[in-house]
Amino acid sequence: MTQSNTVDEIVSQPYKYGFITEIETEKIPKGLNENVIRLISAKKNEPDFLLKFRLRAYEQWLKMKEPDWSGLIYSKVDYQDLVYYAAPKQDIKKKSLDEVDPKLLETFEKLGIPLSEQKRLSNVAVDAVFDSVSIATTYKEKLAEHGVIFCSISEAISEYPDLIEKYMGTVVPINDNFFAALNSAVFSDGSFVYIPKGVECPMELSSYFRINSGDTGQFERTLIIAEESSSVSYLEGCTAPMFDTNTLHAAVVELIALDNASIKYSTVQNWYAGNEEGVGGIYNFVTKRGECRGKKSKISWSQVETGSAITWKYPSCVLQGDNSIGEFYSIALTNNCQKADTGTKMIHIGKNTKSKIVSKGISAGQSKNSYRGLVSISPNAEGSRNYSQCDSMLIGDKASANTYPYIQSKQPQANIEHEASTCRISEDQLFYLQSRGIDFEESVSMLVSGFCSDVFNELPMEFASEADKLLALKLEGSVG
Amino acid sequence: MKSSTIYQEWLDSLPPTEGYLKNEQSIGRKFLLEKGMPSKKDEAWRLSNFSKLNNFLSLPTIIDKEDIKSIFPAKDANRERIIIHPNKNPLNINLPNGIEHLNKREIEDNLGKIVKSTNIKNDISVCLNQASSLELLALKVKRNFNQSLEIVIPSIEGKSISTRILLLIEEGAKLDLLQILTGNNNSAQNHLIEIKLESKVELTHGLISLGEEKDSSSICTLAVEQSEKSKYSLHSIHHGWDYARYEPRIIQREGEASTIIKGLQVTKSKEQIATHSLIRFEGPNGKLDQLQKAVASEYSHCIFNGSIEVPQKAQKTEAAQLSRNLLLSKRARIDTKPELEIVADDVRCTHGATVSQLQDEELFYLLSRGIDNKHANSLLLKGYYDEVISHLPKSAGKWNFIEKLMQDIKK
Amino acid sequence: MISSTSETILSIEDLHASVEDQEILHGVNLVVKEGEIHAIMGRNGSGKSTLSKVIAGHPSYKVLSGSIQFKGIDILELEPEERARIGIFLGFQYPVEIPGVSNLEFLRVATNSRRKELLKSELDTFEFEDLVKERLKIVEMDPAFLERSVNEGFSGGEKKRNEILQMALLEPFISILDETDSGLDIDALRIVASGINRLSQPNSATILITHYQRLLNEITPDFVHIMADGKIIKTGNKELAIDLEKSGYDFIDKNSKEKEMAK
């Protein structure tokens, strides 16, 4: 057996989160038109400004064309064949966990996210989102003591409409791109975080997204605001059952960091990737952007992308405030017929702004893994610096790794440095580990994990090992 | 005037298709008619300065058949010189031993083939040339010969010229080719050069492209096909053009070949110079070492777009690409975009890009030794240029490009 | 330590092996018994390193004919990790750097896979730390090395000490040390040599592959073999190494010339 064959085998493993929860769901009829948007807004009891926001976005969306520049080939989504709102049948939102359908609690427990008071993770507050709605948020009271707001976006819309009106759509405008416009028109739920001035959020915040219905598009919306001198670390996780149709997930995430504030946003994305032949799986078309509005503010994205049939996203930083910092750490592992086109945009506007990009792509099977990035230095961004490092690892001779780093500079007092490499697992390293008695499978897993270590180091402690396990799981298999 | 009008007028101004390039002319014109003017929607033209392209197309293409009166430095003793006069049949030239004109059959067999195999037959730059080139210089270097050659293509004041070259280098031959493109006041030139390297060929190709005078522009496409065990090194300098677009496209047809590309482009005032390179490996064990340097000062704009394609059949490819850019002024702009597409797994590919100004520490070191700022800067720049220009043949120095490159900074 | 009842650990018979379709070993014969120290000397390109890689099972090297037996078992079909687990250790001439993989973790996983083979209990992180700290003393290594990536940024001497540390942890029956002395200064050489001496056991054996006599001043070999052109052409005791140091490899050339003539 050749090396690449064996490695191929061990990167293929069954998806463990493919089960479906049997639960009665309330769905609105398929299709999208103005009435559907009014219906979603009415179901959620939204204030008038938000309905207008949705309708404006819908109007823009109608004028836009689905983008095709990425070279990703996928069967086009029939937007009239999707359900835009699905919710487990229960009253809008329960006051306490006891009232939540036990089936839902069980679902999240199976996913490793226990929500009940006895079992819930210590030091991590979780907002659990099931299809279109948030079903529970833990540790709300404890967070409230510090003035931290952590709740579903629907709740925030009714409880804190002023904050929503002030910030929503200011980082990702409703007409930013085709999918962002669609999201702005029909978003169902998501998470909201507000950290008041001077507060260091006392625990990790986490949202867990679960798609359950096969024909439902998931359009969640996350908004995080960090006031002056505050800080927060937030993590999202995602899984979905196995369907042989493609499910669309078009989320929008907006982050706002004011003076001296810091936001760390981590993603562990493990949506269903489709089967070995590429049938089914999630289309993960997400717009994520953070604005460092304040001086010395910092936004740091880390992502571990292992799932989805197609991932198409570029978590970005707009570095407006002087001395602000943007970071992007990414691991993208693709296998079988998966396609990932991901990267970041670092837009340097303020003086002395700094950005760092570390991207590790691993492609196996017939998958296609692309890094696409933009580093742009505007004429006023004196003293700005960027460092980017993009490494790709290929496993097997049918996988492809593409790198498109785009650099644009209009400021001489700026330094931009980009390095990239593409390689396969080194035979010498593999032999060295094996010659110490470590078996082939574990050696490969160690080398992949070592290849990704720069990024693991950036994940919150609680999740670094989870992410490592996830990669190991993807690499786990049946080597005889 | 609207771009589309200029474009149409340019097409209309071309003489009727005729001669042995008749077929090529119709292909090019047909394509341009159908495709229309390049626009910002074409990724390869997105950053192009269209008003400069309009200037390019506004110049008359009809040229009187008279000799060019340019004065050039004396030719080297051991290097035959060919001066290409537009519209003048290039058959009456002295060719050194081992270099011959291609016969009709050979031209038919090869013309356009390399353009096709480097996959640029639908490229606008190529079609502009196909549509307007009236003459062809078609040469071959015979098997196992070792020769040197100089090809000079001067622009003509107030005119637009279009030249086409086909070069066939037979198995085992070696050629040291020095190519000089010079600009003139308010002039445009467009070149299409096809080169085929048979197996075991070694070609050293120096390309010195100097705009020199006011408002000169140049579009130059290079289509190179390498057979196995061939070695191609291309060293280029682009300087002084108001608008220049340089497109080297190289394909290693069977792998097992080596390619070295070192390019330098320097812009000042409101100039725009763009390099769009493509290297594709179609067989195993290919090697590439690519270095692209750019210096942009004042209000100018340097662009580099570099594709490397390594498909599945190109196992054990080793490719390195480095884009190094100096941005010397607040109004200048640098865009650099490497594009790597790799499907083979047993490859080593690296690329890197930097954009900065001259390094402060280096500068400080020189200043601390009593060298004044201007001098120190020019010393450092010279060092920066040296990595590319040191590879050009020594005799190329008579074209004074080093002085021209340094002049910019002395201001 | 050698006695007539000593068991044979390694037995190589008429071994022919190639790399990249070029035959490098042209019939190597070697028997190593418990308690023995063998030195293999020879010029660059004589096949010494190839022999060590073939014994350890490097995938780039192909065995064309002949056999290698370890304690009576044919090992040619075994994967490199299986060879390591049954007690074959190769000290690399150029230990490989593996960025991102923690040295401590690597040592622990390797040690446990060997222990599993020996039916010993696997060590958890804490137990392993105790063990590794104790073994560190043998090579006089700073525990800070454990926190770094495998061999990454280690100096030549540090890499070689890390190799001997692995040997100390894996407790192999046979250690093949490929040019362990190359690139070491006097102090490092002394530390490495004393480590090797301390680790030798009555039931284990060592093969030192070296270019120079100086390692053999620190470790006394029972046998010295001289390799040339993919074969062991001469075997003797440590005097042979001393002769070799004095007269250089010229006599090998003489030998081979004579052979050529004979042909």
Residue A75 sits at the chain C interface (C-beta within 8 Å)? no
Pairing of strands B348-356, B318-327: parallel
Tokens of C173: 């029956």
Contact A433 C106 (CB under 8 A): yes
Tokens of A422: 């593409």
How confident is the model over A266-288, as pLDDT tens digits?
A: 988 888 888 888 788 888 999 99
User: CB-CB: which of B332, B334, B343 is closest to A400?
Assistant: B343
* Per-residue pLDDT at A368: 92
Q: Edge-to-edge, what's the strand order for the sheet holding C73-74? A: C22-33, C8-19, C61-70, C73-74
Quote the CA–CA distance of C216 and C210 in Å, as a whole number: 9
Closest chain B residue to A372, measured at CA: B339
What would the mean pLDDT of A87-102 be, rounded to a whole number? 63
Could you list the residue range(s) of the whole structural domain that residue B163 is in? 3-63+79-358
Is residue C70 scored above 50 in pLDDT? yes
Residue B68 sits at the chain A interface (C-beta within 8 Å)? no
Residue A49 sits at the chain C interface (C-beta within 8 Å)? no
Radius of gyration of chain C measured on its C-alpha atoms: 18
Q: Return the amino acid letter for C70.
A: F
**Lowest pLDDT segment from A459-463, B304-308, C138-142:** A459-463
Higher pLDDT, A388 or A214: A388
Tokens of C126: 């804490």
Q: How many domains in chain B?
A: 1
* Per-residue pLDDT at A252: 96
Contact B336 A403 (CB under 8 A): no
Pick left, alpha or beta for residue A461 (phi over 0 → left; psi -120 to 50 → alpha; otherwise beta). alpha
* Per-residue pLDDT at A200: 95
* Per-residue pLDDT at B171: 96
Look at the alpha carbons of B397, B401, B406, B410 in this order and tell me if their dihedral is positive or negative. positive
From C231, C186, C225, select the one nearest C208 (Cα to Cα). C225
Best residue in A416, A427, A430 to probe B by mutation, most B CBs within 10 Å? A416
Is residue A453 scored above 90 in pLDDT? no
Quote the CA–CA distance of A85 and A427 in Å, as a whole number: 51
* Per-residue pLDDT at A463: 67
Is residue C21 scored above 80 in pLDDT? yes
Quote the CA–CA distance of B88 and A162 in Å, as a whole number: 76
* Per-residue pLDDT at A469: 67
Q: Is there a contact between A454 and A476 (Cβ–Cβ < 8 Å)?
A: no
Spatial neighbors of B266 by CB under 8 A, at least 6 apart, are B237, B238, B239, B273, B294, B295, B385, B405, B408
Residue C115 sits at the chain A interface (C-beta within 8 Å)? no
Q: Give the length of chain A.
A: 480
Look at the alpha carbons of C21, C25, C31, C35 in this order and tell me if their dihedral is positive or negative. negative
A residues 436-465 lying closer than 8 A (beta carbon) to C: 436-440, 442-443, 446-447, 449-454
A92 — pLDDT class (breaks 50, 70, 90) = very low
| CA trace torsion B18, B21, B26, B31 (10° rounding) | -150
Contact A440 C95 (CB under 8 A): no
Mean pLDDT of all residues belonging to chain A: 85
Phi, psi of C142 (to 5 degrees): -75, 130
Q: Is there a contact between A435 and C56 (Cβ–Cβ < 8 Å)?
A: yes
How confident is the model over B359-379, as pLDDT tens digits?
A: 766 777 677 776 777 777 777
User: CB-CB: which of A4, A405, A413 is closest to B345?
Assistant: A4
Closest chain A residue to B344, measured at CA: A397
Residue B69 lies in a domain: no
* Per-residue pLDDT at C169: 93
Residue B398 lies in a domain: no
Contact A394 B342 (CB under 8 A): yes
Mean pLDDT of all residues belonging to chain C: 88
- Chain B residues with beta carbon closer than 8 angstroms to that of A411: 327, 330
Best residue in A431, A442, A456, A457 to probe C by mutation, most C CBs within 10 Å? A431
Spatial neighbors of B241 by CB under 8 A, at least 6 apart, are B183, B209, B211, B216, B217, B218, B271, B273
Quote the CA–CA distance of A3 and A73 in Å, as a whole number: 30
A477 — pLDDT class (breaks 50, 70, 90) = very low
Pick left, alpha or beta for residue B305 (phi over 0 → left; psi -120 to 50 → alpha; otherwise beta). beta
Residue carrying the six token digits 């061999």: C151
Q: Which CATH architecture has domain C8-262?
A: 3-Layer(aba) Sandwich (3.40)
Quote the CA–CA distance of A134 and A361 in Å, as a whole number: 32
The runs of H, that is alpha helices, within B232-372 are: 360-367
Q: Give how far C31 is from chain A: nearest CA, Å.
A: 22
Residue B359 sits at the chain A interface (C-beta within 8 Å)? no
* Per-residue pLDDT at A115: 73
H/E run at residue A213? none
* Per-residue pLDDT at C260: 57
Is residue A32 scored above 60 in pLDDT? yes
What would the mean pLDDT of A170-187 be, rounded to a whole number? 94
pTM for this entry: 0.83
Quote the CA–CA distance of A115 and B315 in Å, as a whole number: 51
Quote the CA–CA distance of C54 and C67 in Å, as a whole number: 11
Secondary structure of A448-471 as H, E, C letters: HHHHCHHHHCCCCHHHHHHHHHHH
Is residue C261 scored above 70 in pLDDT? no
- Chain B residues with beta carbon closer than 8 angstroms to that of A406: 335-337
- Chain A residues with beta carbon closer than 8 angstroms to that of C101: 446-447, 449-450, 453
Asked if chain C contacts chain B via 3 or more Cβ pairs within 8 Å, the reply is: no
| Cβ pairs A/C, distance under 8 A | 81
Closest chain C residue to A431, measured at CA: C58
CA distances from B409 to B274, B297, B323, B373, B381 (A): 21, 9, 21, 11, 9
A479 — pLDDT class (breaks 50, 70, 90) = very low
Residue A277: burial class (beta carbons within 10 Å; 0-12, 13-18, 19+): exposed
- Which regions in chain B score pLDDT beneath 50? 411
A2 — pLDDT class (breaks 50, 70, 90) = very low
Quote the CA–CA distance of C238 and C245 in Å, as a whole number: 11
Query: For chain A, which chains pass the contact test of at least 3 CB pairs under 8 Å?
Result: B, C
A residues 226-285 lying closer than 8 A (beta carbon) to C: none
What would the mean pLDDT of A401-421 be, rounded to a whole number? 92
Q: Give how far B321 is from chain A: nearest CA, Å.
A: 10
Q: Give how far A201 is from chain B: nearest CA, Å.
A: 38
* Per-residue pLDDT at B38: 85
* Per-residue pLDDT at A271: 80
| CA trace torsion B207, B212, B217, B219 (10° rounding) | 0
Quote the CA–CA distance of B129 and B247 in Å, as a whole number: 13
Q: Is there a contact between B133 and B165 (Cβ–Cβ < 8 Å)?
A: no
User: CB-CB: which of C56, C85, C99 is closest to A450?
Assistant: C99
Query: For chain B, which chains pass the contact test of at least 3 CB pairs under 8 Å?
Result: A
Residue A6 sits at the chain C interface (C-beta within 8 Å)? no
Percent of chain C at pLDDT exceeding 90: 52
